[in-house]
Amino acid sequence: MREFLFYFFAALTVVPGLFVAISRNPVNAAMNMILSFIGLAALFVMLESYFLAILQVLVYAGAIVVLFLFIIMLIDAERAPKSGWLTSLAAVAALALMVTGLLTLLYSGESGTFAVAGETAPAALSQTFGVELFTRYLLPFQVTGFMLLMAMVGVIVISRKDAAEDKGGEA
For another protein, the binding residues (CB under 8 A) are 101, 104-105, 108, 110-115, 131, 135-140, 143-144, 146-147, 149-151, 153-158, 160, 165-166, 168-169
- State the minimum distance, in angstroms, from the CB of residue 115 to another protein: 5
Shorter beta-carbon distance to another protein: residue 4 or 107: 107
Shorter beta-carbon distance to another protein: residue 69 or 128: 128
The residues near 23 (Cβ < 8 Å, ≥ 6 apart) are: 29, 32
- State the minimum distance, in angstroms, from the CB of residue 32 to another protein: 19
- State the minimum distance, in angstroms, from the CB of residue 143 to another protein: 5
Residue type, 67: L
- State the minimum distance, in angstroms, from the CB of residue 134 to another protein: 9
Handedness of CA 98, 104, 110, 113 (dihedral sign): positive
DSSP letters, 115-163, are PPPPSS-TT-SHHHHHHHHHTTTHHHHHHHHHHHHHHHHHHHHHH--HH
Handedness of CA 133, 141, 71, 30 (dihedral sign): negative
Shorter beta-carbon distance to another protein: residue 11 or 138: 138
- State the minimum distance, in angstroms, from the CB of residue 51 to another protein: 16
Shorter beta-carbon distance to another protein: residue 5 or 101: 101
Shorter beta-carbon distance to another protein: residue 73 or 106: 106
- Residue ranges of E strands in 8-50: none
